[in-house]
Amino acid sequence: MKYNFDEVIPRRNTDSIKWDLAQDGVLPMWVADMDFRTAPAIINALEKRVQQGVFGYPLTPQGFYDAIQGWWQKRHGFTVEKDWLVPVPSILESLSIIMKTFTKPGEKVLLQSPGYNHFFTVIEQGGCEVLTNDLVCENGNYTMDFDDFEKKARDPAVKLFLLCNPHNPVGRVWTREELLRIGEICVKNDVLVMADEIHSDLVFEGREHIPFASLGSDFQMKSITCSSPSKTFNLAGIQTAYLICPDPNLKKQVEQTLQIHGILFLNSFATDALIAAYNEGDEWLEELKTYLFGNYQYLRGFVEEHFPYLKVTPLEATYLVWIDVSALQRPAKEITSALLKEQQLWINPGTMYGANGEGFVRINIACPRELLVDGLERLRSAGFWF
């Protein structure tokens, strides 16, 4: 490989949420944060900005929009118009803005569960009710319950559906057929789709990311897609994201809410990082995906050898592995708490992602192989639950 993903980069005492919230000796494999040095082109772009030495009020350059359009065309075959794009600092901030714009307190937001834990938090803090459409797990494979989804989408209080594609935490890449059926139900029932596609670039061989808005004009005009290079290139600390909003009326309303909340522009580092990532990051990304899938294969083989009664959910995308630990007949929270206390291994209980996450744990494998092996050996040393 041209890029060294085996390099262990010390991150303690760098104001890292992942590492500095963990006590000394704890191996953090929880939050969706990679331990790899980002693509050299991004570092070079940021160094160039620093060398200029002036950090006044920035414009969002044309190159920002060009880079996003080029990326979606070459990576996903989807033509994005410049007029559809809205720069925003983060996906979570976008969700909050969209909710403030299109829902009222007491209304409902439809969410598939298990689902990203911060979705629940933002919905509840916005004064709305979470209505869950539980995913169905059969023999380790997750599918959608369309009958239940349609029943709940018919509720007139449901105004918004949060689509996570690819899905965190179960690692599914939804097929064209699945997305079409979901989209048809939402259009029929006048439910706005917010498509979180932040993991869209981390799809493994044999799978294809289908942008929800690419399915046709009806879906475009009834959706807002949220994306960012932050997961792909590990740029969460730089705060760079964007919305794809084809309906001009929806876009205008979102922009008005952004202005009310004083969210007027991205910082210069955010735009520079995105432009460099999308224009020059392809080679680095392809090597990253190869390395990540190698980590997944290593983990899967390790679990099959040492814990044959545990089940690793097939990983179609992301670097977050969902493991069925129900055979242990202990609450997931109890398992992860004991691992943290006795083995100093920090992973997440499935119940963080909804009640039907019970019996599962989530582990982040976006780290040098040396750290992954360390984490798995700590898992194996946990004789108290084997």
313 DSSP 8-state letter:
P
Q: Is the pLDDT of residue 386 over 70?
A: no
What's the pLDDT band for 41 if we cut at 50, 70, 90? very high
Contact 80, 200 (CB under 8 A): no
pLDDT (0 to 100) of residue 384:
57
pLDDT tens-place string over residues 239-249: 999 999 999 99
pLDDT tens-place string over residues 215-237: 999 999 999 999 999 999 999 99
Q: How many CB atoms lie within 10 A of CB 293?
A: 16
**Which H or E element spans position 244?**
strand 241-244
The answer for 34, left when phi > 0, alpha when psi is -120 to 50, beta otherwise, is beta
Q: What is the third-level CATH fold of 17-40+282-385?
A: Aspartate Aminotransferase, domain 1 (3.90.1150)
pLDDT (0 to 100) of residue 139:
87
pLDDT tens-place string over residues 345-374: 999 999 999 999 999 999 999 999 999 999
Amino acid found at 52: Q
DSSP sequence for 173-229: ---HHHHHHHHHHHHHTT-EEEEE-TTTT-B-TT-----GGGG-HHHHTTEEEEE-S
The answer for 322, left when phi > 0, alpha when psi is -120 to 50, beta otherwise, is beta
Angle at 132 between CA 165 and CA 146, to 5 degrees: 65
356 DSSP 8-state letter:
G
pLDDT (0 to 100) of residue 385:
52
Mean pLDDT value of segment 2-12: 97
Domain borders along the chain are 17-40+282-385, 54-280
pLDDT (0 to 100) of residue 84:
98
Name 370's bridge partners: none
pLDDT tens-place string over residues 282-309: 999 999 999 999 999 999 999 999 999 9
Peptide bond just before 169 cis, omega within 30 deg: yes
pLDDT tens-place string over residues 159-210: 999 999 999 999 999 999 999 999 999 999 999 999 999 999 999 999 999 9
pLDDT (0 to 100) of residue 141:
92
Mean pLDDT value of segment 36-59: 97
Question: In the chain, what percentage of residues exceed pLDDT 90?
Answer: 97
pLDDT (0 to 100) of residue 281:
98
Mean pLDDT value of segment 92-119: 96
SS3 string, 23-91, reads CCCCEECCCCCCCCCCCHHHHHHHHHHHHHCCCCCCCCCHHHHHHHHHHHHHHHCCCCCHHHEEEECCH
Q: What is the third-level CATH fold of 54-280?
A: Aspartate Aminotransferase; domain 2 (3.40.640)
* Closest to 62 measured CA to CA, from 41, 45, 89, 85: 85
Q: Is the pLDDT of residue 254 over 80?
A: yes
* Closest to 288 measured CA to CA, from 198, 366, 371: 366
* Closest to 203 measured CA to CA, from 233, 165, 230: 165
Query: In the predicted model, what is the mean pLDDT of the chain?
Result: 96
What's the pLDDT band for 80 if we cut at 50, 70, 90? very high
What is the rounded distance in angstroms from the CA atom of residue 164 to the CA atom of residue 308?
A: 30
What's the pLDDT band for 256 if we cut at 50, 70, 90? very high
DSSP sequence for 102-156: H--TT-EEEEEES--HHHHHHHHHTTPEEEEEE-EEETTEEE--HHHHHHHHTST
pLDDT tens-place string over residues 122-167: 999 999 999 999 999 998 899 999 999 999 999 999 999 999 999 9
